[in-house]
Amino acid sequence: MSSAEGKGNDIVVVGSLFMDLISYTERIPVPGETIVGTDFQTGYGGKGANQCVAASRLGTKCAFVGKLGNDVYGKQYYDNMVKEGVNVNYIKIEDKVPTGVASIIVGAADGQNIIVCVFGATGLVTPAFVEEAEPLIANSKVVVVQLEIAVESSFRALQLAKKHSVKSIFNVAPGVKDLPREMLSITDILCLNETEAEIVTGLSNIHDRESAESAIEKLRNEFQCQNSIIITLGSEGVLLWDSQTNRYHFVVAPKVQAVDCTGAGDCFVGTLAHCLAAATGDSDDHLINAVKQAVTNASDSVLRKGTQSSFPHKLIPSTQ
């Protein structure tokens, strides 16, 4: 694809495509225990695709870079991305490799979940494949990556974004120890939840503003991450270190009765990317306003079952 053909997409997401197999239970089983479920659904997931769909539903022109297997799940998923309005030119169908799947158990008591991912075709997203999408990345406004593809592939996407002066969001999900230090410093916005922050920093019991601030200080000082950092704390809210203003901001999450928390973090990242891509003019408030809106949309998503199926189609009015 030529540079001209890469135009027209505000957000490019490089990442994973997983078919979600979701079982609902009264509670999460303990190891070795068999319990009876209350409901079962299949859905479309994978952190990368979730974030892309969350942004696309809000009206942003989005493109996705990833791989599917040449099977029933792959064909269904490809059609779903088309239906969601995503540019699928860089979604490749791989023969003799299954589409990635995520087995999810959701407990009814609090909507919390446990997830097991089998990568399948998503495991074949290589740095060389990411480089094929350079024209797409070069002509975008925001690039989003996670860690459900090879670390080297996510790193390459961040390097290409930096090369072309495109704003990048690195969602360190799932958490990985011993990431290349440059990977943490090259991105414009580093986004982690409390568990991922513990894995990356080596700190424990990150659960509130004070502990999250300690993690951010370690990322800034020991890991040389000098750009903006976001730590999400689930129902507690979000702590942002804004490198443009050199200020901390804590955003309290709306109090809601969660039905299913699956994909809430991806809804947050997708909404964040949408708001940043849509922002115009020079303002120190763009990032904090985007974070506030992302918290609101993510909180709304937990009110419904499913992953992508729970994502709103509009910006929910914020009370922040």
Q: At 320, is the pLDDT very low, low, confident or very high (cuts 50, 70, 90)?
A: low
Whether residue 39 is annotated as binding a ligand: the answer is no
Whether residue 281 is annotated as binding a ligand: the answer is no
* CA distance linking residue 187 with residue 89, whole number of Å: 25
* CA distance linking residue 8 with residue 149, whole number of Å: 25
| CA-wise closest residue to 185 among 125, 239, 137, 228 | 228
Whether residue 81 is annotated as binding a ligand: the answer is no
Judge whether 284 counts as a catalytic residue: no
> pLDDT, tens digit, for every residue of 69-110?
999 999 999 999 999 999 999 999 999 999 999 898 988 877
Q: Is the pLDDT of residue 292 over 90?
A: yes
CA atoms within 13 A on the CB side of 230: 26
| Percent of the chain clearing pLDDT 90 (strictly above) | 86
Whether residue 155 is annotated as binding a ligand: the answer is no
Burial of 81 (0-12, 13-18, 19+ CB in 10 A): buried
> pLDDT, tens digit, for every residue of 255-264?
999 998 889 9
Whether residue 110 is annotated as binding a ligand: the answer is no
pTM > 0.85: yes or no: yes
Burial of 116 (0-12, 13-18, 19+ CB in 10 A): exposed
Question: Which one of the listed residues 188, 266, 285, 300 is annotated catalytic?
Answer: 266
- Write down all domains in the chain, each with its CATH number in brackets: 4-17+46-98+121-307 (3.40.1190.20)
Whether residue 100 is annotated as binding a ligand: the answer is no
> pLDDT, tens digit, for every residue of 153-194?
999 999 999 999 999 999 999 999 999 999 999 999 999 999
Predicted confidence at residue 212, as pLDDT, reads 98
| CA-wise closest residue to 51 among 294, 315, 239, 318 | 294
**φ, ψ for residue 230 (rounded to 5)?**
-120, 130
CA angle 110, 33, 21 (to 5 degrees): 60
End-to-end CA distance of the chain: 43
206 CA to centre of own chain? 20
Decide: 54 and 271 in contact? Cβ < 8 Å: yes
Q: At 4, is the pLDDT very low, low, confident or very high (cuts 50, 70, 90)?
A: very low
Per-residue pLDDT, averaged over 31-46, amounts to: 93
Q: Is the pLDDT of residue 247 over 50?
A: yes
* CA distance linking residue 69 with residue 95, whole number of Å: 6
The kind and range of the H/E element at 99 are: none
Q: Which two tokens stand for residue 149?
A: 């593809």
Question: Torsion-angle region of residue 8: left (phi > 0), alpha (psi -120 to 50) or beta?
Answer: left
Whether residue 201 is annotated as binding a ligand: the answer is no
Neighbours of 123 (CB within 10 A): 18
Whether residue 175 is annotated as binding a ligand: the answer is no
* CA distance linking residue 244 with residue 14, whole number of Å: 26
* CA distance linking residue 205 with residue 43, whole number of Å: 32
* CA distance linking residue 70 with residue 160, whole number of Å: 29
Predicted confidence at residue 7, as pLDDT, reads 62
